[in-house]
Structure 1
């Protein structure tokens, strides 16, 4: 069952500046020198990890299991981007986050450049890795 009290507390906001290493050209997702969708997704996942961190049990971590992302606006090298994650649904080990990315203008979030949803599942890190052997 979903727990609204837990959901309200699981949020995070991170900021990044687009560099040449973050471009579609650099990450292999296109030929243009603009923020690549794979890098944007990594930043959004980092926000979900930061949001869920306080809720993890000792020895626990979370793994991404589902992503839905709409990358709406291009971001040039040098642009500052703010990414956010807020829990929208929690059911036991399953945590679903609403995510968004915005350009930063005058040190405030402005134009929305991406929206989506990322699902993470809490796992015991040692048990998870042991299954890979």
Structure 2
């Protein structure tokens, strides 16, 4: 099932931090800077993008584990870039290193684990 997925796949996604992306807006704090939950979502988006072209029709991946160190505050208006690198494929398990940068500053870094699934079967099971 994971035949086309090999270590080394990468992708970058970007976000200009807006009011809706802040800790205040997401309820994860009371300061107007990029919220940790939004950083996690951005990191996961990069992992999805890294594998998107390598998946067969009907396949998708789902996140099962995130380990992230949010190291620096990013104010509204700044452009952040999340980069994901697929480091290991173990059967259906996919392991990524992720880095989120605000310019040259590493705002966050960590690891994301995803699992390769059949989209239809996954949704059927979820709806039971």
TM superposition score normalised by structure 1 = 0.89
**Is 1:20 aligned to 2:19, yes or no?**
yes
Unmatched tracts of structure 1, length 5 or more: 105-109
Unmatched tracts of structure 2, length 5 or more: none
2:121 corresponds to which of 111, 127, 131? 127
Listed one character per residue, the Cα deviations across residues 81-118 of structure 1 (whole Å, up to 9, x for unaligned) are 011000111112111000000112xxxxx111100000
Matches within 5 A, 1:28-47: 28-47=27-46
Q: CA deviation at 1:58?
A: 1.5
Q: CA deviation at 1:17?
A: 0.5
Task: Give the Cα–Cα distance (whole angstroms) in 1 for the partners of residues 92 and 54 of structure 2.
Answer: 10
**Is 1:112 aligned to 2:92, yes or no?**
no
Aligned length: 124
Matches within 5 A, 1:1-133: 6-8=6-8, 10-104=9-103, 110-132=104-126, 133=128
Listed one character per residue, the Cα deviations across residues 41-90 of structure 1 (whole Å, up to 9, x for unaligned) are 10110000000112212101000001000000000000110110001111
- The secondary structure found in structure 1 opposite 2:53 is helix
Poorly superposed stretches of 4+, deviation over 2 Å: none
Listed one character per residue, the Cα deviations across residues 18-61 of structure 1 (whole Å, up to 9, x for unaligned) are 00000000011000000000011101100000001122121010
